[in-house]
């Protein structure tokens, strides 16, 4: 069986009184991620991991932020599109492992809902999706609550 691995990274600014969507779930917090789509840093990192595994460029190539079509769109739709792109190239998803890095709030209560959204968009089982979170120990732009970072890896296998 042929398998490949992909890696993704994303970062967004945090702004006060801005909606905060992570993994398709609304996070209750005084600040939120700012960006062209819904600024879902977790789903963006996962999309880049999928595309990278199948050697299909990156999220900006397929969904340019200059295209009004993608403005304010749910990033879960982008994840659905990425899943289709890798299927069209003869691959299926194996699993996703992701890491969020932000100072606040605590993400643990939101993780089951995030996994359910990502499972629905990607066609994976919930048990094949791992989402973890850590802080930056108050250091740097993440530590100053100026931004949020996500990393993801995924495995794909030849259909």
- Closer residue to Zn ion, CB minimum distance, 29 or 94: 29
Q: Which residues bind Zn ion (CB under 5 A)?
A: 10, 44
Q: Is the peptide bond before 85 cis (omega within 30 degrees of 0)?
A: no
Q: Could you give the CA distance from residue 111 to residue 77 in angstroms, rounded to a whole number?
A: 19
Q: Which is nearer to Zn ion, 9 or 94 (CB)?
A: 9
Q: How far is the CB of 158 from Zn ion (least distance, A)?
A: 29
Residue nearest to Zn ion (CB): 44
Q: How far apart are CB 74 and Zn ion at their closest, in Å? A: 13
Nearer to Zn ion, 65 or 138 (CB): 65
Query: Quick count: other Cβ atoms within 10 Å of Cβ 97?
Result: 16
CB of 12 to Zn ion, least distance (A): 6
Nearest to 82, CA basis, from 52, 126, 111, 108: 52
Picking from 43, 17, 40, the residue whose alpha carbon sits closest to that of residue 30 is 17
């Amino acid at each position: 069986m042929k398998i490949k691995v992909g890696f993704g990274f994303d970062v967004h600014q945090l702004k006060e009184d801005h909606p905060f969507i992570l993994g398709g779930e609304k996070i209750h917090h005084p600040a939120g991620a700012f960006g062209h789509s819904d600024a879902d840093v977790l789903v963006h990192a996962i999309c880049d991991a999928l595309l990278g595994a199948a050697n299909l460029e990156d999220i900006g190539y397929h969904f340019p932020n200059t295209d009004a079509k993608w403005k304010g769109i749910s990033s879960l739709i982008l994840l659905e599109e990425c899943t289709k792109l890798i299927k069209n190239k003869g691959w299926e998803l194996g699993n996703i492992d992701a890491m969020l890095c932000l100072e606040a709030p605590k993400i643990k209560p939101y993780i089951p809902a995030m996994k359910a959204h990502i499972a629905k968009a990607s066609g994976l089982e919930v048990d094949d999706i791992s989402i973890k979170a850590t802080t930056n120990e108050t250091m740097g732009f993440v530590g100053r609550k100026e931004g949020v970072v996500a990393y993801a890896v995924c495995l794909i296998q030849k259909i």
